[in-house]
Structure 1
Amino acid sequence: MQTDVMHDGGNELAPTDVVIVGGGPAGLTAAIYLARFHLDVVVIDRGGGRATLIPKTRNHAGFPDGIAGSELVDRMRDQALRYCARIVEGEVTEIVRSEDDFIVRTDRSGFKARAVLLATGVSNNRPDMDATVHDAALSQGLLRYCPVCDGYEVTDQHVAVIGTGEHGSREAIFLRSFTSAVSLIAPGGRHDLEEQERRKLVDAGVTPIDGPHGEISIDGTEIVIPVREKVLRFATVYPALGSRIHSGLAKPLGVDMSEDGCIVVDRHQRTDVPGLYAAGDVVYGLDQISHAMGEGGVAATAIRNDLAERRPLLR
């Protein structure tokens, strides 16, 4: 493990082979691979990743009884640490090029890395509701964010989707394959639906309901949404309000980005900036733990092989 300290403008920089920004499934999978390739790897994790908020995932292979997202991440952290990856807490504030390498600065420290992997993920846009109620509803399965992950769990239950437009309509119709009772509630005011979208909803048996909805609350085993003159009760609510893509660190480096802010990569998770890679939800694709882990493994192998091209990796 490298321990020498370098300096940049008076600031100490710890040299390392690879810095991974983000300690979720993509970043930790890459860390496990890279550490087992006998590379020096640092994972910088600010905490609060989306995977840790999952009460229980039941479609992740190898866990037939399901596993909490926080437990899965903890297991992956332990595995990475076992092979001498370093995991440090902090938020990366800047990444800049330094000849063929990168300087990665955080709110607490700095590193000089031969390669950087961005596994910074996304955050869901939350509905307008009290934070304590939100977290309680999420832990009880009354509020869910991923119908691909857990649509099975709402089979034949009364479900609402908070959203409108094409995105909300798609999610509501997707959920109709799990239950016949799906409502699409506008997040404030009237629905923003083209006539064709409204017809698709009606044909699929989805009930569009104009907002605004009032204070969302929990009543026993139900989640309650006041809508205009009525109070509606559901077994589960899915917000379909989009997400925030955490790709801001890539922009100053001139990385190619999609229109919605995802980082564009090749089939080996390379960006168009040499030495910079991206994996997981920050890259356009299926936002699933298994997919993120696969991309982490691909990225790590590409990093190892690219570093070996620059300088043979010899023990």
Structure 2
Amino acid sequence: MPPAPCTPDADAIDCAIIGAGPAGLTAAIYLARFHLEIRMFDCGSSRAAMIPRTHNHAGFPGGITGPDLLARMHRQARDYGATCEAATVTAIERDGDDFIVRTDRSTLRTRTVLLATGVVNHRPAGLDDALHDTALTRGLLRYCPICDGYEVTDRRVGVIGTGDHGMREALFLRGYSSDVTLIAPDTDHELDDACRAALDDAGIRRVDGPCGDYRIDGDRFVVRTAEGDLAFHSVYPALGSHIRSELAIAAGARASEDGCLEVDDHQRTSVPGLFAAGDVVKGLDQISHAMGEAGVAATTIRNLLAERRPIRR
């Protein structure tokens, strides 16, 4: 059965938050503490939930797992009255000064929207889910050298990627280990002279693809390449990501060529009343950065709503 239509005279909540990762949850905590009526939608695929343990999130000297961090943030948001609905948002539509948010379960009118849908990492082709998740949990497969490059210090590291993006990730990891290999995902490497020179200068080995037939052998992640099987303590896919900005773009928000939403210093998109924070916005893909953007967005939303109608107890 399709969601019921949202009638023009239906009461609007203050803000709909789409996404329940670190950005969405931070915004929920702020907005709930501003005594605003909000609703958060969670499709259940936050990238933070995949973090086995992060050691660079301030305040947790022993590290914290992604699921534990999200659970703590959910509990904190609930303590202030924030509600979260397990649903997938299918559309954001402008209706006068408000928005209509449609999900696979319901329809909601809201005065503002905060998009915090993040990104999805591209995985190596042919890597099945079970092996992927096991390797990720054991730190044999990693996606964020900024987050956990320290953990591969002086270890043997493989990077699956090519071109400028693959080169930059390999060079970044060279700051942690002298043993870094860049593996082309498909066939031969696609590297210009400048990339080759930079890799050679850093002493980074280049191996052509295709790569696949992945397996775990003891404490190593094994990759089959054009030069045979290579074993690493950790492998980083440098294959880019899918930015989940389609909802905002369909609503008229501007985005970069790769899909990152364009926002101003207050996290406002080009659509009045539509905000964005976290990895869906162009910038540093880090939990701390996403949380900071969410705090800015939430405060701006509160002040915008106060301009429309005084917020008083």
Instruction: Answer yes or no: same fold by TM over 0.5.
Output: yes
Letter in 1 for 2:13: T
Please, which runs of 5 or more residues in structure 2 have no aligned partner?
none
Tell me how large the CA RMSD over aligned residues is.
1.4
Distance 1:240 1:14 in 2: 46
- Is 1:64 the equivalent of 2:77? no
| C-alpha contact (below 8 Å) 1:13/1:110 kept by paired residues | no
Distance 1:13 1:142 in 2: 51
Q: 1:14: how far off?
A: 6.7
Q: Quickly say closer, same or farther: Cα 1:277–1:10, change in 2 above 3 A.
A: closer
- Is 1:48 the equivalent of 2:23? no
Distance 1:137 1:150 in 2: 15
Aligned to 1:4: none
Q: 1:289: how far off?
A: 0.2
Deviations 1:140-172 (A, max 9, x none): 000000000000000000000000000000000
SS in 2 for 1:18: strand
Please show how residues 126-141 of structure 1 align to structure 2 within 5 Å.
126-128=123-125, 129-141=127-139
Letter in 1 for 2:52: P
Distance 1:310 1:212 in 2: 58
Q: 1:296: how far off?
A: 0.6
Stretches of 4+ aligned residues off by more than 3 angstroms: 7-15
Q: Quickly say closer, same or farther: Cα 1:12–1:215, change in 2 above 3 A.
A: farther
| C-alpha contact (below 8 Å) 1:124/1:242 kept by paired residues | yes
Aligned to 1:106: 103
Q: Which moved more, 1:9-18 or 1:225-234?
A: 9-18
State the aligned residue count. Answer: 309
| C-alpha contact (below 8 Å) 1:12/1:110 kept by paired residues | no
Aligned to 2:191: 193
| C-alpha contact (below 8 Å) 2:277/2:297 kept by paired residues | yes
Q: Which moved more, 1:186-195 or 1:13-22?
A: 13-22
- Is 1:92 the equivalent of 2:80? no
Identity %: 60
Q: 1:9: how far off?
A: 6.1
Distance 1:17 1:249 in 2: 19
Deviations 1:221-276 (A, max 9, x none): 10001112421110000000000000000112211111111111110101121111
Distance 2:245 2:29 in 1: 23
Aligned to 1:269: 267
Distance 1:74 1:10 in 2: 35
SS in 2 for 1:216: strand
Letter in 2 for 1:290: S
Distance 1:293 1:41 in 2: 18
Letter in 2 for 1:207: R
Q: Which of 187, 201, 219 pairs up with 1:221?
A: 219
Aligned to 1:248: 246
Aligned to 2:170: 172
Distance 2:90 2:226 in 1: 44
SS in 2 for 1:84: coil
Q: Which of 265, 273, 295 pairs up with 2:293?
A: 295
Distance 1:252 1:175 in 2: 37
Please, which runs of 5 or more residues in structure 1 have no aligned partner?
1-6
Distance 1:139 1:33 in 2: 32
